[in-house]
Structure 1
Amino acid sequence: MILKGFKEKSNKKYLNKLLSERQVNVNDDKLISLGIIFNIDEIHDFESFRKLSDFIKVRPNKLKIIAFSESKKGDIYAWDECYNLKDFGWNGKIKNADLQEFLDVPFDILISYYEKDVLELKLMTAKSKAKFKIGILQTDERLNDLIIKTSLKQFEIFKKEVFKYLNILNKI
Structure 2
Amino acid sequence: MFLNNIKEFWVKKIVKKKLLNVNHLATNSVITKVGLIIDETYFFDKKELLNQLINNGLFLDNISVIVFRNVIKKNDNLEFPSFSYHDISWSGLINNKEVIDFIETEFDLLISYYDIEKAGLMQVTNLSKARFKVGFSTIDKRINHFMIDTNAENHEIFVTELIKYLKILNKI
TM-score (norm: length of structure 2): 0.88
Q: Secondary structure at the match of 1:150?
A: coil
Q: 1:9 Cα shift?
A: 5.2
Bigger shift: residues 151-160 or 73-82 = 73-82
Cα deviations across residues 45-90 of structure 1 (Å, max 9, x unaligned)? Answer: 1112322332342222211011101124253343331211111012
Note if 1:27 corresponds to 2:24: no
User: In 2, Cα distance between the equivalents of 1:153 and 1:27?
Assistant: 29
* Deviation by residue 1:72-118 (Cα, 9 ceiling, x = unmatched): 42533433312111110122100111111101111011011112221
**C-alpha distance in 2, partners of 1:164/1:53?**
12
- Whichever residue aligns with residue 55 of structure 2, its letter is F
Aligned to 1:151: 151
Identity of aligned residues (%): 30
1:129 counterpart residue number: 129
Tell me what 1:140 maps to: 140
Instruction: Tell me the SS of whatever aligns to 1:91.
Output: coil
Matched residue of 1:99: which SS?
helix
* Structure-1 separation of matches of 2:155 and 2:144: 18
Structure 1 partner of 2:113:
113
Q: Within 2, Cα distance between the matches of 1:3 and 1:27?
A: 40
Counterpart of 1:70? 70
Deviation, structure 1 residue 5: 6.9
DSSP 3-state at the match of 2:135: strand
* CA shift in 2, pair 1:115/1:4, >3 Å: closer
Please, what TM-score do these two structures have when normalized by structure 1? 0.88
Conservation of the 8 A alpha-carbon contact between 1:66 and 1:81:
yes
Q: Kindly tell me: are residues 120 and 154 of structure 1, through their superposed partners in 2, closer, same or farther at Cα, counting changes over 3 Å?
A: same
Letter in 1 for 2:53: S
CA 1:163–1:74 in 2, change beyond 3 Å: closer, same or farther?
farther
Deviation at 1:166, TM superposition (A): 0.3
Secondary structure at 1:94 match in 2? coil
CA 1:135–1:127 in structure 2 vs 1: closer, same or farther (change >3 Å)?
A: same
Aligned length: 172
